[in-house]
């Protein structure tokens, strides 16, 4: 790794860590990819080195070899502390067992059954937004991120754990919703990265109560805030989980189609060795909500912003949706997936703006990374493979892979939904990109690939189709700045920490009909 090129150290203690993870580090990511290529050496925390990778052969080797490359121990430990032993917080056989139990609930067969649940939530969303316009001919500003966050939490609440967090048509403050909204921003902030990487050592300080006391008294405000957030998430999750389990055991919840109910029934029916203990089931529940809320809501908000920036695309998409809805109020599962332009808009947004710009892996043994294209070493020689020592942190750049001009062409940095309506570049088709979704790395791949990406896609298509059928969006005078984080998010300025994204909107006749239908109880 000494011969792999990369930027110089920015800090003796922190290396390039803050440059790569800062809120406005987009240009740093782009610059090092342009200058150094698809494998880059970074100076990492406390004098260590890391690799920044988007070479496809190297990515395939990393993604598909979970025994050699898995989530770093610091990542697993901190997620275990914050969410419990769910999919993101376990490794090896435990991870495989959990994933096996969850896989059936994300099948197309099951997703067809949750579409009506999604529309129940979305109808209330449309009604609530419609009610806030002074007159139906006027435009007004709306914080679309706030509404997408509320909708995403309610969608995963009802579709994921069979619980309603938010009536939507009323403004009710909810501590759980607030905690869930700020979980990712707090946990993945640059200031937290050095502290999170110390987690494997902190657990050896003593019993858990002592570690908790140390964190509660921490001089770092974000650490204290993280304790508060995880307490709120855990207490409500435990309350919901125990009520749900009691209902199932009493036979009162035999028909529920939410993920938690199906998982609990499957766990009760499993043999002893395949059953998951309560802490893993509870951790699964918290993980599902965490993984589904900010990712989907921010992707939907970004899509609406892009449609406001490109009114011709918005008009074309609205026309496609309106034509499909002739004679029906809601589109079913098959109809939603038969809308090529809606699909193209979603794919292009997720390609250009992946909600998780990078993911972490760690080498768990000394190994060698093969490269699809040789890189020029610092001594001038060509490297066709790189020896990677055990313990090396690896940053998989989803952002750089999705925007690689060698694959996607000179317009790779442009938002062009039409690219999905024609054959993709031959380089993309032949590249064998190791992601689970549509020739890109947005949802990762392999055994750690996002298990719920089809659920997320369905949410996006239901919500966006109804929003565009009922409203027209334009850019607001209020600024919007997107911040790089574990899940990228918008604020009104580079200094602000409040998550928000404002657009102007007007109401169409379809929204009026939706409100009338809801008020009649239909």
CB atoms within 10 A of CB 120: 14
pLDDT at residue 256, rounded to an integer: 77
Residue 441: pLDDT over 90: yes
- pLDDT tens, 111-155? 898 999 999 999 999 999 988 876 656 778 999 999 999 999 999
- The helices-and-strands tally (H runs, E runs) of the chain is 22, 12
Higher pLDDT, 175 or 298: 298
Query: Which two tokens mark 383?
Result: 């490297």
Residue 452: pLDDT over 80: yes
pLDDT at residue 278, rounded to an integer: 86
334 falls in which pLDDT band (50, 70, 90)?
Answer: very high
- The whole-angstrom separation of Cα 289 and Cα 271 is 27
Higher pLDDT, 473 or 163: 473
Count Cα atoms within 13 angstroms, Cβ side, for 323.
Answer: 11
Helix axes 340-352, 278-309, angle to 10 degrees: 100
pLDDT at residue 522, rounded to an integer: 38
Cβ–Cβ < 8 Å for 397, 433: no
Cβ–Cβ < 8 Å for 166, 153: yes
Could you tell me what percent of the chain has a pLDDT over 90?
56
Terminal CA-CA length for the chain: 64
What DSSP letter does each residue of 467-500 carry, written as one string?
HHHHEEEEE-SS--EEE-SSS-EEESSSS--S--
Cβ–Cβ < 8 Å for 518, 127: yes
411-436 mean pLDDT:
94
355-384 mean pLDDT:
94
- The whole-angstrom separation of Cα 43 and Cα 452 is 34
Query: Which two tokens mark 377?
Result: 């070493």
Cβ–Cβ < 8 Å for 140, 134: yes
Cβ–Cβ < 8 Å for 458, 111: yes
Q: What are phi and psi of 260, to 5 degrees?
A: -65, -45
pLDDT at residue 509, rounded to an integer: 53
69 falls in which pLDDT band (50, 70, 90)?
Answer: very high
Domains observed in the chain? 17-519 (1.10.630.10)
- The whole-angstrom separation of Cα 406 and Cα 413 is 12
- The whole-angstrom separation of Cα 235 and Cα 348 is 38
370-389 mean pLDDT:
94
- The whole-angstrom separation of Cα 152 and Cα 137 is 28
Residue 512: pLDDT over 80: no
440-449 mean pLDDT:
93
Could you tell me what percent of the chain has a pLDDT over 70?
95
Residue 333: pLDDT over 90: yes
Please state, rounded to an integer, the average pLDDT across all residues of the chain: 89
Cβ–Cβ < 8 Å for 24, 494: yes
The pTM (predicted TM-score) of the whole model is: 0.91
pLDDT at residue 510, rounded to an integer: 46
pLDDT at residue 80, rounded to an integer: 86
Query: Which two tokens mark 467?
Result: 């929003």
pLDDT at residue 284, rounded to an integer: 83
pLDDT at residue 489, rounded to an integer: 94
């Amino acid at each position: 790794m000494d011969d792999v090129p990369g930027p110089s150290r920015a800090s003796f203690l922190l290396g390039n860590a803050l440059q790569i993870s800062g809120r406005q580090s987009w240009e740093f990511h782009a610059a090092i990819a342009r200058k150094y290529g698809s494998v880059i050496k970074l100076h990492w925390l406390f004098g260590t080195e890391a690799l920044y990778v988007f070479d496809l052969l190297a990515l395939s080797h990393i993604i598909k070899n979970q025994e050699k490359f898995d989530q770093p121990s610091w990542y697993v430990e901190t997620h275990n502390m914050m969410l419990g032993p769910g999919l993101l917080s376990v490794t090896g056989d435990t991870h495989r067992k959990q994933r096996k139990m969850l896989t059936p609930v994300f099948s197309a067969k099951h997703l067809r059954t949750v579409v009506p649940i999604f529309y129940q939530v979305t109808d209330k969303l449309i009604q609530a937004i419609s009610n806030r316009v002074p007159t139906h001919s006027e435009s007004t500003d709306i914080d679309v991120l706030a509404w997408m966050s509320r909708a995403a939490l309610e969608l995963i609440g009802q579709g994921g754990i069979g619980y309603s967090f938010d009536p939507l048509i009323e403004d009710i403050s909810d501590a759980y919703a607030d905690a869930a909204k700020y979980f990712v921003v707090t946990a993945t902030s640059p200031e937290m990265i050095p502290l999170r990487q110390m987690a494997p050592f902190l657990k050896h300080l003593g019993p858990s109560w002592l570690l908790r006391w140390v964190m509660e008294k921490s001089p770092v405000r974000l650490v204290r805030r993280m304790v508060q957030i995880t307490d709120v998430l855990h207490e409500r999750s435990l309350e919901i989980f125990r009520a749900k389990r009691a209902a199932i055991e009493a036979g009162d919840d035999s028909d529920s189609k939410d993920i938690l109910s199906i998982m609990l029934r499957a766990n009760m029916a499993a043999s002893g060795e395949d059953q998951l203990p309560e802490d893993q089931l509870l951790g699964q529940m918290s993980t599902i909500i965490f993984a589904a809320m900010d990712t989907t809501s921010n992707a939907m908000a970004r899509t609406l912003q892009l449609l406001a920036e490109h009114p011709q695309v918005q008009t074309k998409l609205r026309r496609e949706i309106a034509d499909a809805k002739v004679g029906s109020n809601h589109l079913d599962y098959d109809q939603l997936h038969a809308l090529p332009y809606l699909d193209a808009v979603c794919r292009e947004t997720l390609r250009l703006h992946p909600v998780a710009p990078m993911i972490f892996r760690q080498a768990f043994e000394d190994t060698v990374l093969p490269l699809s294209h040789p890189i020029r070493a610092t001594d001038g020689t060509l490297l066709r493979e790189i020896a990677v020592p055990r313990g090396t942190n690896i940053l998989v750049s989803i952002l750089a892979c999705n925007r690689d001009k060698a694959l996607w062409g000179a317009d790779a940095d442009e938002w062009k939904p039409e690219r999905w309506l024609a054959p993709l570049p031959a380089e993309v088709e032949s590249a064998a990109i190791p992601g689970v979704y549509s020739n890109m790395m947005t949802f990762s791949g392999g055994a750690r690939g996002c298990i719920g990406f089809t659920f997320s896609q369905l949410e996006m298509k239901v919500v966006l189709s109804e929003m565009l059928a009922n409203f027209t969006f334009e850019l607001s005078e209020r600024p919007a700045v997107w911040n790089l984080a574990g899940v990228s998010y918008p604020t009104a300025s580079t200094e602000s920490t409040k998550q928000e994204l404002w657009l102007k909107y007007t109401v169409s006749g379809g929204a009026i009909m939706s409100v009338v239908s809801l008020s009649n109880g239909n």
